[in-house]
Homo-oligomer: A and B are copies of this chain.
Amino acid sequence: MSQEQSQRMQSMCESAKAHVDDLLVLLSKSKMLSTLYVMNCDPDPMRFSEIKKRVDSSSTTVARRLGELEDHGLVTRTAYATVPATVEYALTKDAIALQPSLESMFEWVLNRADSSL
């Protein structure tokens, strides 16, 4: 392999690594796993207040997490011109593909929490 090729390859790997890290940082943010989990539990779009209630965090944090998920193409935000405002969040196809992993991870968490009581 030429040095040039090797360099191109390395830069590609570094790019992939950066994307992986990016996603891991995203998933590691506080309440992020909870947010994805509560949204997975119900296949229908969910309103801001409902997510906030189930995740049990401040508006600021929930809004931040949902914004980050939207930025990453993992949720869609739909606002309806009702009064008062109605906003619905739904998982994208991509996020739904994560569902099985998330579910079995939460099962593990619940099992562990149970046995430590």
CB within 8 Å of B: which residues of A? 12, 15-16, 19-20, 22-25, 27-30, 32-34, 94, 97-98, 100-102, 104-105, 108-110, 112-114, 116-117
Contact = CB atoms under 8 A, between A and B. Distances in A.
A100 B100 CA distance: 10
Count of identical protomers in the assembly: 2
Nearest to A34: B24
Contacts of A28: 27-30, 32-33
B108 A97 contact: yes
Nearest to A108: B98
A16 B101 CA distance: 21
B33 A27 contact: yes
A12 B19 CA distance: 40
